[in-house]
Chains A and B, each alone.
Chain A
Amino acid sequence: MNKADTPLLKAQNIMANGMLSPIDLTVLSGQVWMLSGPSGTGKSQCLKALADLIPHDGSVYLNQVEQSSMPPEQWRAQVMYFAAETAWWLDSIGEHFEQPPSRTLLQRIGLPFSILKRTPDECSSGEKQRLSLLRGLSYTPKILLLDEVTANLNYEASLQVEALLQDYLTEKYSTIEGRTEGGKFFPQRAIIWVSHDIGQIQRMASTEQQIVFKRLNIKRTNK
């Protein structure tokens, strides 16, 4: 088997509170998977389970290493969850970054450099969504678990974010880590993205990499 075909992330029978049925997932390096479906079908819960933020059944492997055999903080730094509602716990935006993002990086997604000096309350929710994305990317996670991260953005800004994320999967992004095999670049990165935007889903992933969460057609019995 070609090394490029070994799954970067493999999930078997993932099931958490709030999910309606277990999920299997095999994600290769460089891939983008789009998850969609009505509210209350457990999409966010599924992402949180993959990041090991909530108790769950089933097993997840990153590069064939089992989730529970890795310290949780190490796992989450590599399989990183990005919430729809961003959260900030320090006084200024800039303090939340260990390495502040470059001017060019901020410009690419339409943000001024001075925004780092502002307090979280002085930023709009759309600005904060983009900043939270950069904050996470600065840890160079391998798997991005994106939970409606462009929900508060207009079309232009959404496209900018999509382009940035496409680049993150390739060598174009500022920091380059990965391995080459026969001259080909394997970025060791992939995205699993929950989105309600049909256009975005089609732009980012081929039909084989789209998963639609459905409501089960079974009446729930009261236990």
Chain B
Amino acid sequence: MILISYWDLLVLSSLICLLGGILWLNGFNKVKDLWWATLRMTVQLLFMGIWLSWIFNADNPVWVVLISLIMLSAAGYEISKRQQYRFKKMHSLFIGLLSLSFISLILLVGILVFIIQPDPWYQPQYLIPLLGMLLGNSMTAIGLGLDTLTRNAIQLKSKIEAQLALGKTAKEAMQFIKEQSLHSAMIPIINMLVAAGIISLPGMMTGQILAGADPIEAVKYQIMIMLLIATSTGFGTLMAITLASRRLFDERQRLQLNQLVKTK
């Protein structure tokens, strides 16, 4: 494997500086955000690198649990941050975290114990990258699904209430919104599956190939990841939407939109 130096990275970072400058001249007013995001990415990844080499050497499950928890809460926080309408009392964070961790963790443990079978099964070299890939994708989809749900509940309030008034249950009255939310969450995943291998070379596979792995072996890993991502994303979104949909009604199935606060 050909290694790259910190100098190489520093030189490459001038690309983002240049991009920011030119975009600014063209009226883009989020240049600071772009630079800040790039800086964050760099620092976060460097830390992750340090963390990982340390954890790989430490060989202690406590550290694996700790870093997984940090990744989960960061993803949960990111979901609730992406909502235009957030539930009061941290319920968005709670719903996000629960639906995110429930299915991702089950899949992760299952795949490690029954398919990959490293020794021990929680070997961080496998567990942490896999968790990261599952969380990253589920997070985006769950965030999108929840946002569509709450936004539509506010905009289409009269359509929900009209159905309640006709004697439909809260679940029936939310069905049309639920469908839309699932749709907007799942479309990016379906597009990703369609594009894989023709238009895009997925990151993990590319990484393995660059590191000198046999392309066929890398592809097999990538297919497994894609299957896991699609599954965890779909079930996670469904769970989040169902939980949020229930939260919107009280015990007499009355629509309670005052539980949502506008954030942006």
Contacts and interface: CB of A to CB of B under 8 A. Distances in A.
Interface of A: 51-55, 68, 72-74, 76-78, 80-83, 85-90, 132, 135-136, 139
B159 A77 contact: no
B220 interface: no
B161 A139 contact: no
Nearest to B255: A53
B164 interface: yes
20 contacts: A51-B165, A53-B161, A53-B164, A68-B252, A72-B164, A72-B253, A72-B254, A73-B167, A76-B165, A76-B167, A78-B167, A80-B165, A87-B159, A87-B161, A87-B162, A88-B159, A89-B159, A89-B176, A132-B162, A136-B165
Given A77-B166, A82-B165, A54 B254 contact: yes
B161 A83 contact: yes
Interface residues of B, number: 18
B166 A136 contact: yes
Contact of B166 (A72, A85, A90, A135): A135
Contacts of B117: none
Interface in B138-173: 156, 158-159, 161-169
B195 to A, nearest CB: 31
Contact of A74 (B164, B166, B167, B255): B167
Nearest to B175: A89
Interface of B: 156, 158-159, 161-169, 176, 250, 252-255
Contacts of A77: 166-167
Contacts of B159: 87-89
A83 B235 CA distance: 37
A72 B166 CA distance: 11
Contacts of B252: 52, 55, 68, 72
A220 B159 CA distance: 34
Given A52-B254, A54-B254, A72-B252, A83 B166 contact: no
Nearest to B252: A72
Contacts of B163: 89
A81 B164 CA distance: 9
Contacts of B254: 52-55, 72
Nearest to B162: A87
A68 B251 CA distance: 10
Contacts of B255: 53
Contact of A139 (B166, B176, B250): B166
A73 B162 contact: no
A83 B158 contact: yes
A56 to B, nearest CB: 10
B242 to A, nearest CB: 18
A80 B167 CA distance: 8
A81 B165 contact: yes
Contacts of A55: 250, 252, 254
B230 to A, nearest CB: 29
